[in-house]
């Protein structure tokens, strides 16, 4: 049976407490994890610490933190600390992000993202072991680092996100899980083949690699409002967040639509960008509409063989009340 989790809102929320309240609501409804994206708002470790303090059973972790703005040793320390604070409920999610974020926001060179991710996985694990870290990689060389606290009693899984074939293969070969976002069922099936190839190359047991798929969802009695919010969310991601989402949609058979959305957004015509997103594309990549329709659309992703966890995400324009309504309507105990 596929688990159901929360992918907490990427858009700014009124306060840290309001984000914590959403996680608590998810815990009350039986959601498995509360995943927190880190973009341009509040930093993930601080918010996750607050969530850990205010919850008891729900798992938690970032989905994702990037592998450029913090050192791998620091992320190892962060993982150890959050595992302690959460009493063993933490799971680390990392990925390169993209040039728009890394170069534009953090002022770092977006170099060798796959190799960098691989070395982060290695180093974070070595830090979490509690042993002295002596690491000689292509990018990082560390000598003498060791935690000055006990390592976590419960091992911290280290997951990697990715959209392209090579990044997904890397997750299967080296990470404890893969985080996916914005895929059609067919597109996800294709990437799962890359994940399995990675597991074979790494001689991994498939049961040891957890697949988490975040689906943009909106379940409202006003179904048209829900679909409009989902449409605006996709237009923003394809048009404003660099090339990764556009390229991913293109690989999945929506090249013309992806380029039309991006072109309209770049020209400042937001309405045209929305018009480029057909109902077919909206339904193929998300679950939006009335509660009944959203539940039905979400189910097609949950039935894909190899997906362990469906994480319910939310359109960036949704109000707190609309997010709460969606959490309630799509809850595993509903």
Quick: pLDDT tens for 251-297: 988 999 999 999 999 999 999 999 999 999 999 999 999 999 999 99
Distance CA 321, CA 87 (A): 30
Give the pLDDT band (50/70/90) at residue 315: very high
Give the pLDDT band (50/70/90) at residue 61: very high
Q: What's the pTM?
A: 0.95
Place of tokens 């996800």: 188
pLDDT digits (tens, 9 = 90+) for 221-248: 999 999 999 999 999 989 887 787 888 8
Give the pLDDT band (50/70/90) at residue 333: confident
Could you give the angle at the alpha carbon of 117 between the alpha carbons of 114 and 120, nearest 5°? 155
Locate all alpha helices (DSSP H) within the chain, ordered by sequence.
16-28, 44-54, 72-85, 99-102, 113-129, 165-174, 185-201, 223-240, 244-249, 255-266, 270-275, 279-285, 291-302, 320-329
pLDDT value, residue 195? 98
Give the pLDDT band (50/70/90) at residue 327: very high
pLDDT value, residue 246? 87
Distance CA 113, CA 167 (A): 9
Q: CA torsion 322→218→274→242, rounded to 10°?
A: 100
Give DSSP secondary structure letters for 249-281.
HIIIIIHHHHHHHHHHHHTT-HHHHHHTS-HHH
Domain residues of the chain, as ranges? 3-329
Give the pLDDT band (50/70/90) at residue 11: confident
Distance CA 174, CA 197 (A): 12
Give the pLDDT band (50/70/90) at residue 177: very high
pLDDT score of 79 more than 90: yes
Give the pLDDT band (50/70/90) at residue 126: very high
Residues in the chain: 334
Mean pLDDT within 58-64: 97
pLDDT score of 334 more than 80: no
- From the options 3.30.420.40, 1.10.286.10, 3.20.20.30, 3.90.1150.10, give the CATH code of 3-329: 3.20.20.30
pLDDT value, residue 137? 97
pLDDT score of 218 more than 90: yes
Mean pLDDT within 4-33: 95
Q: Do 238 and 195 contact (CB within 8 A), yes or no? A: no
pLDDT value, residue 302? 95
pLDDT digits (tens, 9 = 90+) for 31-47: 999 999 998 889 999 99
């Amino acid at each position: 049976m596929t688990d159901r989790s929360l992918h907490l809102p990427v858009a700014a929320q009124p306060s840290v407490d309001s984000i914590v309240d959403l996680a608590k609501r998810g815990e009350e409804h039986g959601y498995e994890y509360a995943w927190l994206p880190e973009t341009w708002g509040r930093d993930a470790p601080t918010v996750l610490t607050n969530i850990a303090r205010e919850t008891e059973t729900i798992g938690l972790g970032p989905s994702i933190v990037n592998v450029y703005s913090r050192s791998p040793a620091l992320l190892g320390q962060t993982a150890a600390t959050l595992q302690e604070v959460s009493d063993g409920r933490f799971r680390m999610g990392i990925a390169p992000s993209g040039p728009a974020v890394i170069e534009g926001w953090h002022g770092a060179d977006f170099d060798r993202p796959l190799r960098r991710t691989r070395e982060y996985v290695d180093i974070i694990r070595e830090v979490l072991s509690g042993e002295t870290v002596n690491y000689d990689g292509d990018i990082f060389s560390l000598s003498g680092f060791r935690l000055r606290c006990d390592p976590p009693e419960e091992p911290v899984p280290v997951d990697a996100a990715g959209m392209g074939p090579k990044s997904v293969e890397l997750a299967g070969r080296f990470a404890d899980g893969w985080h996916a976002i914005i895929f059609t069922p067919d597109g996800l099936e294709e990437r799962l083949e890359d994940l399995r190839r990675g597991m074979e190359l790494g001689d991994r047991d498939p049961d040891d690699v957890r697949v988490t798929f975040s689906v943009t969802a909106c379940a409202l009695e006003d179904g048209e409002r829900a679909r409009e919010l989902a449409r605006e969310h996709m237009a923003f991601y394809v048009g404003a967040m660099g090339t990764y989402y556009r390229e991913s949609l293109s690989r999945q058979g929506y090249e013309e639509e992806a380029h039309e959305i991006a072109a309209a957004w770049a020209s400042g015509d937001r309405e045209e960008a929305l018009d480029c997103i057909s109902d077919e594309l909206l339904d193929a990549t998300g679950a939006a509409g009335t509660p009944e329709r959203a539940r039905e659309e979400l189910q097609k992703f949950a039935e894909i063989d190899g997906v362990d966890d469906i994480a319910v995400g939310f359109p960036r324009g949704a109000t707190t009340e609309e997010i709460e309504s969606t959490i309630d309507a799509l809850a595993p105990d509903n």
